[in-house]
Structure 1
Amino acid sequence: MSETAETLRLDKWLFFARFFKSRGVAAERIERGGIRLNGQPCRKPGRAIRPGDLIVISAFGHLRCIRVTALPERRGPASEARESYEILDDGAAQKSG
């Protein structure tokens, strides 16, 4: 699937939204199976995503469920990145000591 104005590669989005420090790390996590897209396992970093998609990220001991709300054009400051998603469930907040 080619990338259009309405879609963005999953690895790019995860990097732009600041879930991973680099696009390479995001791609590696996707290929290892740590990401689910709309309820389905996703192992392709180039998978096109769009606003409304649901992403579950399993990384760094946390499980996060988020909804894509926007497709940023760059990796900007954290406040700008935060506008591109909505946290539906953050497993980090539910961890018990």
Structure 2
Amino acid sequence: MKARTSAALLVEAGHVRINGARETAPGHGVKIGDVLTIALDRGVRILKVIAFAERRGDAQAARLLYEDLQGGPK
């Protein structure tokens, strides 16, 4: 399954919060400074959006676009 599809399913299932508010619309935009709380099978990730990329990149490039607020590995 592609990443975008997986992300949309998480949002639709109510597993994503933006700034503490549950989000159920996959097309909802995020902005720099937003904090995303994502409930996954093996735990919860809390990420702060710190930048956007002009083009889609690999996972290593994506890690530069957010801050892990739990201090864990990216």
TM-score, length-normalised on structure 1? 0.66
Percent identity, aligned pairs only? 37
Of 29, 52, 58, the residue aligned with 1:71 is 52
Runs of 4+ in 1 over 4 A off after TM superposition: none
What amino acid sits opposite 1:42 in the alignment? E
Residue number in structure 2 paired with 1:26: 7
Deviations 1:39-97 (A, max 9, x none): 1000111111111000001112210111001122343122210011000016x78xxxx
Residue number in structure 2 paired with 1:54: 35
SS of the aligned residue for 1:75 comes to coil
**Larger relative contact order, structure 1 or 2 (CA cutoff 8 Å, min sep 6):** 1
TM-score, length-normalised on structure 2? 0.85
Q: CA RMSD in A?
A: 2.1
**Alpha-carbon distance, 1:21 to partner:** 4.4
Residue number in structure 2 paired with 1:42: 23
What amino acid sits opposite 2:15 in the alignment? G
Q: Structure 2 regions of 5+ residues with no counterpart? A: none
- Aligned length, in residue pairs: 73
